[in-house]
Structure 1
Amino acid sequence: MSEYGHFSPDGREYIINRPDTPRPWVNYLSNEKYCAICSHTGGGYAFYETSGYNRITNEAPSTVLMQDRPGRYIYVRDTDTGKYWGLTWQPTTEEYSHWESRHGPGYTTVSCTQNGIRGEVAYFVPRRDDAEIWMISLRNTGETPRSLTAFSFVEWSLANYAYNLTEAAFSQLFNEVSYENNIIYATTRFWNVAPGGGTNPNLRWDKLAFMTSNIQPEAYDTLTEAFLGMYRSLHNPIAVEQGYCTNSLGHGQDIVGALQHSFNLAPGEEAQFLVMVGIAFRHDEAVNLRDRYATWEDAEHALREVKHYWNDYLSKNTCHTPDESFSISFNTWNKYQSWITSRWARMDSYYIGGGSIIGFRDSWQDMLGILPNDLDWAHQRILYLMEHQFPDGSTLHNWDPLTNIGVKTGHSDDPLWLALGIIEYIKESGDTAFLDEAAPYYDGGTETVRQHLIHALDYSLSRMSPRNIPLIEAADWNDGLDQVGRQGRGESTMIAEHLVWMLREASELLGLTGREDLSAKYTAAREEIIAAVNDHLWDGAWYARGTRDDGQLYGTSKDQEAKMYLNPQSWAVMGGLAIKERAQTCMNSVEEHLDTEYGPALFLPAYTEPNPKIGIITRFSPGTKENGTIFNHTVAWAIMAECILGRGSRAYQLWKNSSFMQRGEQP
């Protein structure tokens, strides 16, 4: 057990027992359209469908990681004494006599006892409604009556993420708020997006953010200055200090949402109420949603639906092992994380800003994570991703999901992830008829999935060096190697290994489905690449990372920095490129040269001096980003390689060293 928390006996909840964790511990509450990122103290923000252009509440990159602010907060004030505190501990960070937070699949709860009042809140996003529900309860644990005022609070940041950050003073001039039927409505008259491409068409945001409650508020505020006050912060808002909101409306100004409720509680008495924050296209939609959650029981029913959804999803493909931490990871949290990333594609997090860009490679990898548990979603996702391929087999590297505007960068690995995704889907589902389904290209035209696969492989085979080794071009999986092949001559060992893996799998699949000609072609091409890599890129005890444009090998024993890279070794085994004893030899070298107590590093030693012939990876500070760090992703590939070699004990140790289960014990 960590000093900060532990898993529940069934592993379905992580129970945090103190709020001042080393970093915020964050949950994604989502119904696939509305996403509320919620920390263990109620910090975080929300967006709808895309984090870049459908923002609801504010994300402040300068404070979100170190302070875990802003968020979805409930201030509680004692009417008689004037003392106030945050129900979740934030943002006042007062002393407490008891505090606990629980992250579960689809919900987060916080309970805190301060000043003789036990406060609890459960945050969740209903399966059927595009809103977040706060189930708030206040109990008088003392022996005398208490008079309390509760202030529920959010900061709006409407529609435009980047624009609101970079042009904050200007963007607020478009804000528009109103208060009708006990609902705060907030929208913006300027939507800084150009659907379909072209110049900005001077749009109004087509949505309304709203905040409401199942009981009538006594008062409200929407103007930041009225609620917080000048020269104050979330820690000491003037409205809470004085004990009342002023019904302010913040047209063309910096805006918030705040609702005020008062309660008189006898000893042992409890008050329960709901707050709803969400998004709608019309005012009446918000009214209807509020009415659907008129009672506490309505919210309880919706929360049960969320828990039922997750119980059903997580019950698939379970295991029970002697290592409880492995079972908890496999049965709950890896599945949950894979679901989240497959829907939101790293669109936003406390680590990455919310620009909403979807990465082609990233999304294919995310899709692989949910294959065993959600074939229907995987099927939908594959067809969507294939729409971002060109007829020649090349692909976009990333795009915005709202505008569908993307960039074609020339990363050499992108087409191969398409091939891997199609092949793995068919292997998991057994649905070879999927090859005959139609899928469009990004710039027009439609062909079968089979043709998309063939074009991806043929495109990769067309980008070869004179030595019959794939070119790295703009970069491969490691984006930081962005100068190795800019002149069109640098080679990539990892791409060679990825390609020979795909050629092996595609040869078998196409041979089974009537294309023996292509099967033979790809088998021959595979053998030629295997021979070339083993002739030119083997360094004696491991595979070099590749060659630069000037023909020099890198990632070798002769280098002073980055002598050995992890991926060329693991992928040599995964792709079947390592011949004879070289598979074990290169993975033995991983253990000898790259192992750390938290798993093998991407490469070692880290770059300490910028190298313009390698790329931006050499400019990151040593031990940051990809420069000599540990990526769980690449550790997983090393684990796969060890499993292929039949070295289960070594694979298990790599998992254990890098697992969040272990890191959580010593954060």
Structure 2
Amino acid sequence: LPFRQLDFFNGIGGFTPDGREYVIQLPPGATTPAPWVNVLANPHFGTVISESGSAYTWALNAHQLRLTPWHNDPVTDPSGETLYIRDDETGRIWSPFPQPSIPANSANHTPPAPAVCRHGHGYTVFERTHDGIESETTIHVHHTAPLKFTTLRLRNTTDRPRRISTTAYVEWVLGEHRDPNAMHIVTRLDPQSGAIFAQNPFSLDFPEHIAFLHCSAPERTLTADRFEFIGRNGTLADPDALRHQTLSNRVGAALDPCAAILAPFTIPPHDEIHVTYILGAAPTEDQAREHLRRHAGLTGARQSLEEIWEFWQRQLGGIYVETPDPALNHLVNHWLLYQTLSSRLWGRTGYYQSGGAYGFRDQLQDSLAFLHECPWLTRQHLLTSAARQFTDGDVQHWWHPPVGRGVRTHITDDLLWLPYVTARYLHVTGDTGILDEPIPYLEARPLAPDEESNYDLPRTSDHIAPLYDHCVRAIRRATEKTGAHGLPLIGGGDWNDGMNRVGHQGRGESVWLAFFIRRVCLDFHPIAQDRGDHATAQHCATLADQLAHAADQHAWDGNWYRRAYFDDGTPLGSHQSPECQIDLLPQSWSVISDAPDTQRARTAMNSAHERLYDPQHQLTRLFTPPFHTAPWDPGYIKGYLPGVRENGAQYTHAAVWFAIATALQRDTPNAWKLAHALNPIHHTTTPDALQTYQREPYVIAADIYTAPGHQGQGGWSWYTGAAAWLYQYYVEHLLGIRLRVNQLTITPLLPPDWKDLNITYRYRNTFYHIHLTVHGPRTWNPRRVLVNGIEQPDKTIHLTDDGHPRQVHIQLG
């Protein structure tokens, strides 16, 4: 493997110095500890690809319309898509990817070779050399069209001509799972485009949809028969069809459906060829042909790749920081927003979860990360989410686009994220016009009190109301009932869905929800006042005070706040509890909600630092001890092993909230200790640490285990709301970058050894180059702010979008 200068190299991979790529270098036969993937997506199409070359692809919905299989097998990392290179003179076969590896006992075996995988923003590149043939394979998804490009460059490094063929292979799913859909899939060769078309006319929601595979080579043969391709009892590691010079061109119905296209080439000495395969989908045949007409071929692939480079550079270029912490720089400048947009908002999938659905609370929170760079994404998703609210005020817990089937539940926090995110959006943008956007409600039969959930397709109501009314209806619905302690009912679960039986009889209460509702009411109160809605403003003010009082009167346990009360009044999260004695959420949100008793909040946070933070493994438990043997039933959370996921592991989403609360208290040492612990780069800096953590160093994992024997091991990665919150933590709470309409303030909380840093801030189309210098310990207190040398008396940067860059100097402390 050639030497590369990489940041934070751990023996397997590292970042390029600019942080834009993560480069994985694999000696022959080596693997990463777990699949290290990239999620390549646009709003309606995407693929997940690992460092081994394993991939799955979807259109419209990563769960409902998978084009190829999703396996969720991190041990063997199988794939329903692959690519082969064959030496047509010797018959030897290999892949430009590390997998599949041709068995040693095969007549077509080629000794394994080193491989390099480069994950970038919107693309992944594989580099490999076999027997004098150098290959570079670039995979990307078009930034708007439902197309996945795989472009293969083959260079002959020998002194003689080489006869080489390439073969792309995919197994069709065209639904959720392959087994129930394969028998219905019909394939055909489209004479106009030369692509293999596949259709599942028995699909419930997508019977007209066409999936297709296309090759740019003028000479090619193909098959849509998987049995022909792999052979009887065969595997993709040694396909039978590649023992033959050509494929049969068989397509039709009643086959084991796949698509394989073989293209032969002759490569002169020290010359190279290029070939592009396109995997895609479209609602109709005509649209499929139009996509191929516009984008097929080598020129179309290259143009699309350049557009992807430009798109992501622009998309991630709103805030660029240069601090003394390069690990923080890499995440803030490149990877956190990329993870949030490609995996959470657009793909709604990762390697370990192929959900496809929008979670009402989930993507609303994710959208907060875009308020600086692209607030229109937040605006768009607010309106999308409001349209999933029922006339009664509750909402779909999650729903599958584009049809809208989803789950109605008794979970009590979902609906409140609508007014919470609306208030945050208004504070940053000043876009009060969004409150008047008309949005319809949904209608469906209500849930029975003892009914946990109902999966259905609701109808769109004729009742249309502005977004403001949707928000008010959510607040009114969420606060119409309280329990015996004056705390809000937990219902079928609050933020922690796994506590779904704490209040399933309708009497259990949530302490965390009390603090969250208080925060929502405090933020929404001025909005109601500005609208002249004095009744709602008074309701919010009164409720905020009542809930704070109830939490202090009935939820204080002596050194921290309790988590909840069961239906029978038994406290959860108390020092007397046999399990879950202290929970992270109410301690954090006592600070975030600006609870009046600040001394209790500080004591609660100190208790959380002492009892929940693990300095050895650099993680923060959600609660301790985990649920295990105690004779109570908090819900399905107890089905997880102790120390796994929500059951006492680090649930990173909550750990970031804890860090935010720490920063709000201006506890600089602990805030930066947590910032370091939350950064996955610091869990993978050495080979030993890498073998413990196992997950990707460049994206956030949803959880980190505390189970014995697995302490410090990452859980599922990519698909987690922690990425959006960690971005906000780094940018707003540590670096102190806060925007209010067109006024930018920077009040950072910096480590004592930092003397200066640079921030480039883009306001629409105008760049502000900001240099900060430290002159005292209270770094959140700017002494002077100068814009183009002119002192700003209010210590605020007044933003103007005129295209002329500004130089800003800020003295801190």
Report the equivalent of 2:119: 103
Give, as a single letter, the amino acid of the residue that structure 2 aligns with 1:290. L
The answer for the alignment partner of 1:188 in structure 2 is 200
Sort the Cα spacing of 1:101 and 1:460 in 2 relative to 1 into closer, same or farther, 3 A. Answer: same
Query: Which position in structure 1 is the counterpart of 2:382?
Result: 382
State the Cα distance separating 1:243 from its structure 2 match.
4.2
Aligned: 1:44 with 2:55:
yes
What is the deviation of 1:85?
Answer: 0.8
Q: Which string of whole-angstrom CA distances, capped at 9 and with x for unpartnered residues, describes residues 605-648 of structure 1?
A: 22222654311112211122211111221111011101110113
Counterpart amino acid of residue 582 in structure 2: M
Please state whether the residue corresponding to 1:434 is helix, strand or coil: helix
Contact 1:155 1:255 in 2 (8 A): yes
What is aligned with 2:228? 226
Q: Of residues 189, 194, 201 in structure 2, which corresponds to 1:179?
A: 189
What TM-score results when the alignment is normalised by the length of structure 1?
A: 0.93
Q: Does 1:317 align with 2:337?
A: no
CA distance in 2, matches of 1:452, 1:611: 41
| Secondary structure of 2:435's aligned partner | helix
Question: Matched residue of 1:397: which SS?
Answer: strand
Instruction: Give a deviation string over 1:166-189, Cα, whole Å, max 9, x none.
Output: xx1x53221111113321111112
Report which stretch shifted further, 551-560 or 95-104.
Answer: 95-104
CA distance in 1, matches of 2:558, 2:479: 27
Task: State the one-letter code of the partner of 1:50.
Answer: N
Corresponding residue SS for 2:324: coil
| Alignment pair present for 1:651 and 2:651 | no
- Worse-superposed segment, 635-644 or 599-608: 599-608
Q: Name 1:198's counterpart in structure 2.
A: none
Counterparts of 2:20 and 2:111 in 1: how far apart (Å)? 29
Contact kept? 1:4, 1:17, Cα under 8 Å: yes
Deviation, 1:449, is: 1.6
The AA in structure 1 aligned to 2:24 is I
Q: How far is the alpha carbon of 1:295 from its aligned partner?
A: 4.4
Given that residues 43 and 144 in structure 2 are in contact (C-alpha distance below 8 angstroms), is that contact kept between their aligned partners in structure 1?
no
**Which among 14, 17, 25 is matched to residue 6 of structure 1?**
14
1:66 aligns with 2:66: no
Number of the residue aligned with 2:176: 161
Cα deviations across residues 49-80 of structure 1 (Å, max 9, x unaligned)?
1123322122234xx42222214322111122
Aligned to 2:132: 116
Structure with bigger helix share is 1
Partner SS, residue 53 of structure 1 = coil
Query: In the superposition, relative to structure 1, how do residues 243 and 627 fare at CA in structure 2: closer, same or farther (>3 Å)?
Result: farther
C-alpha deviation, 1:414, in angstroms: 1.1
Equivalents in 1 of 2:198, 2:127: separation in Å? 30
Amino acid corresponding to residue 606 of structure 1 in structure 2 = P
Query: Which has the larger displacement, 394-403 or 293-302?
Result: 293-302
Contact residue 96 and residue 112 of structure 1 kept, 8 A: no
CA distance in 2, matches of 1:404, 1:432: 28
Asked if the contact 1:214/1:293 (under 8 Å) is kept, the reply is no
Amino acid at match of 1:58: P
Cα distance in 1 between the residues matched to 2:580 and 2:70: 37
Query: What is the distance in 2 between the residues matched to 1:452 and 1:303?
Result: 41
1:294 deviates by 5.2
Q: Which moved more, 1:379-388 or 1:11-20?
A: 11-20
Give the letter for the 2:23 counterpart.
I
Distance 2:155 2:398 in 1: 50
Aligned twin of 2:776: none
- Residue number in structure 1 paired with 2:568: 550
Aligned equivalents of 1:218 and 1:400: distance in 2?
Answer: 38
Contact 2:45 2:347 in 1 (8 A): no
Do 2:166 and 2:262's aligned partners in 1 also have CA atoms closer than 8 Å? yes
Residue 349 of structure 1: aligned partner: 350
2:99 corresponding residue in structure 1: 90
Paired position in structure 2 for 1:594:
612
Q: Give the Å deviation of 1:580.
A: 2.7
Secondary structure of 1:372 counterpart: coil
d(CA) in 1 for partners of 2:562 and 2:89? 72
1:15 to 23, 32, 41: 23
Distance 1:578 1:243 in 2: 78
Contact 1:149 1:243 in 2 (8 A): no
Change (3 A) 1:282 1:448: closer
Matched, 1:536 2:546: no
Cα gap change, 1:26/1:507 in structure 2, threshold over 3 Å: closer, same or farther?
same
Distance (whole Å) between structure 2 residues aligned to residue 345 and residue 411 of structure 1: 25
Q: Deviations over 1:266-306 (max 9, x none)?
A: 33121111111111233344344334345433322211111
| Cα gap change, 1:514 to 1:317, in 2 (>3 Å) | farther
2:549 is aligned with what amino acid? A
Counterpart contact for 1:107–1:123, Cα < 8 Å:
yes
CA contact (8 A) 1:98 1:114 kept: no
Residue matched to 2:41: 30
Residue 10 to residue 626, structure 1, CA distance change in 2 (3 Å) = same
Give the 5 Å matches for 1:211-360. Answer: 211-293=213-295, 295-344=297-346, 346=348, 348-354=349-355, 356-360=356-360
Q: Output the amino acid matched with 1:484.
A: V
Kept in 2: contact 1:609–1:618 (CA 8 A) = no
Contact 1:562 1:604 survives alignment (8 Å): yes
Q: How far apart, CA to CA, are the structure 2 residues paired with 1:265 and 1:453?
A: 64
Q: Answer yes or no: is the 8 Å Cα contact 1:364–1:417 preserved in 2.
A: yes
Counterpart-to-counterpart distance in 1, 2:306 and 2:16 = 19
When structure 1 is superposed on structure 2, of 290-299 and 383-392 the one drifting more is 290-299
Amino acid at match of 2:497: D
Contact 1:151-1:258 at 8 Å conserved across structures = yes
**Cα gap change, 1:341 to 1:282, in 2 (>3 Å):** closer
Given the alignment of the two structures, is residue 498 of structure 1 paired with residue 516 of structure 2, yes or no? yes
Distance 1:350 1:271, change over 3 A: same
| Aligned position for 1:624 | 644
Aligned length: 647
CA distance in 1, matches of 2:199, 2:523: 51
SS of the aligned residue for 1:149 comes to: strand
Is the aligned partner of 1:663 residue 2:683? yes
Match 1:459 to one of 464, 469, 477: 477
| CA shift in 2, pair 1:380/1:435, >3 Å | same
Task: Note closer, same or farther for the CA distance 1:248–1:631 as it changes in structure 2 (3 Å cut).
Answer: same
Instruction: Supply the distance in 1 between the matched residues of 2:197 and 2:598 (Cα, whole angstroms).
Output: 68
Report how far residue 483 of structure 1 moved: 0.8
Correspondence 1:75 to 2:93: no
Mapping of residues 482-521 of structure 1, within 5 Å? 482-521=500-539
| C-alpha distance in 1 between matches for 2:684 and 2:100 | 24
Query: TM-score, normalising length from structure 2?
Result: 0.77
Give the superposition deviation at 1:264: 1.9
SS of the residue aligned with 2:598? coil
Distance 2:295 2:394 in 1: 49
* Contact 2:141–2:148 (Cα < 8 Å) also in 1: yes
Contact 2:173 2:181 (8 Å CA) reproduced: no
SS at match of 1:161: coil
Unmatched tracts of structure 2, length 5 or more: 1-8, 103-109, 444-460, 695-813
Amino acid at match of 1:33: H
Shift of residue 589 of structure 1? 1.0
- Correspondence for 1:410: 410
Counterpart-to-counterpart distance in 1, 2:347 and 2:575: 37
What is the alpha-carbon distance in structure 2 between the residues aligned to residue 241 and residue 566 of structure 1?
60
Q: How far off its partner does 1:128 sit?
A: 3.9
Judged with a 3 Å threshold, the aligned counterparts in structure 2 of structure 1 residues 250 and 603 are, in CA distance, closer, same or farther, namely: farther
The CA distance in 2 between the partners of 1:9 and 1:545, in whole Å, is 44
